[in-house]
């Protein structure tokens, strides 16, 4: 049976060889559905419940054996696989991501620290992973499975180095900068998986639908938490960061001047 027996999939109308405008139409359809105000509100209101009783979001069952190269639409298979490999590598070091975030959060909001990074003992040994990790750690194996079903080959992730916890004397500001980065990476993952949904159909698209729902869930929670914890306007924070940067630069110049004078 053809993968295109149905002309409608999760991104709306299916086109065999879509043009730019047809892909845009599919992306808009996905944005309207997955990023609706109702869905974002639901994900944000879920956060306090997850503090009390953490429950990973369950995935719909996927027919992995139905995944086939014919389900890639609008891009060539090689380009698709290159994007897939990059995504596998980026998703892979999830334990390092969660533990770095936990360290930035621990002093400021222990409940959110537990949500992202779980519970550790006094030696730093992980006793229980956080909910964020439990959901995210499914992503790399799912992407690896896609690669195997499309190519018949196994792939091992190449782990990138992860920026470690680097505290300053201002944990509140450290968390702001770290949290902003985390929120943006969840936002980036959301955009990527929506884009991949627009370029796929069938069982292949269903996997990206699960991935994107996890990313939207995390992005919304991180973003909402950030807005609650840092209510000052973005411009105020940029102004303060700039002032701090100028002071740092001046003190560096001064110490350099003194060391060359001595």
- Which residues would be at the binding site for Fe ion (CB under 5 A)? 91, 136, 139, 186, 189, 215
Write down the least CB distance from residue 192 to Fe ion, Å.
9
Write down the least CB distance from residue 239 to Fe ion, Å.
30
Residue 9 vs 136, nearer CB to Fe ion: 136
Determine the residue with CB nearest Fe ion: 139
DSSP strand E in 11-162: where? 12-13, 119-120, 126-128
Are 80 and 207 in contact by the 8 Å Cβ rule? The answer is no
Residue 143 vs 150, nearer CB to Fe ion: 143
Closest CA to 217 of 144, 142, 115: 115
Write down the least CB distance from residue 86 to Fe ion, Å.
13
Write down the least CB distance from residue 189 to Fe ion, Å.
5
Residue 126 vs 191, nearer CB to Fe ion: 191
Residue 14 vs 225, nearer CB to Fe ion: 225
Distances (CA, A) of 128 to 33, 108, 124, 141, 162: 34, 20, 11, 20, 21
Are 207 and 142 in contact by the 8 Å Cβ rule? The answer is yes
Write down the least CB distance from residue 47 to Fe ion, Å.
15
Residue 14 vs 131, nearer CB to Fe ion: 131
Are 178 and 100 in contact by the 8 Å Cβ rule? The answer is yes
- Helix/strand/coil for 91: helix
* CA angle 10–11–14, rounded 5-degree value: 100
């Amino acid at each position: 049976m053809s993968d295109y027996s149905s002309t409608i999939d999760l991104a709306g109308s299916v086109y065999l060889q879509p043009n730019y405008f047809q892909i845009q139409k599919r992306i808009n359809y996905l944005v309207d559905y997955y990023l609706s105000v109702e869905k974002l509100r639901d994900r944000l209101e879920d956060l306090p419940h997850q503090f009390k009783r953490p429950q990973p979001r369950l995935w719909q069952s996927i027919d992995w054996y139905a995944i086939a190269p014919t389900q890639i639409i609008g891009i060539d298979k090689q380009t698709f696989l290159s994007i897939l490999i990059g995504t596998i590598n980026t998703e892979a070091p999830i334990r390092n991501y969660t533990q770095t975030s936990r360290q930035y959060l621990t002093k400021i909001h222990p409940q959110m620290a537990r949500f992202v990074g779980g519970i550790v003992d006094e030696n730093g040994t992980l006793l229980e992973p956080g909910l964020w990790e439990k959901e995210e750690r499914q992503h790399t194996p799912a992407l690896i499975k896609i690669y195997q079903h499309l190519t018949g080959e196994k792939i091992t992730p190449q782990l990138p180095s992860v920026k470690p916890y680097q505290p300053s004397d201002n944990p509140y500001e450290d968390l702001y900068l770290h949290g902003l980065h985390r929120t943006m990476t969840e936002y980036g993952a959301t955009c990527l998986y929506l884009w991949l949904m627009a370029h796929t159909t069938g069982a292949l698209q269903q996997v990206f639908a699960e991935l994107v729902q996890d990313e939207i869930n995390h992005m919304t929670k991180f973003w909402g938490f950030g807005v609650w914890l840092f209510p000052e306007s973005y411009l105020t924070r940029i102004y303060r960061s700039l002032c701090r940067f100028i002071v740092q630069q001046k003190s560096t110049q001064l110490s350099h001047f003194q060391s060359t004078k001595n």
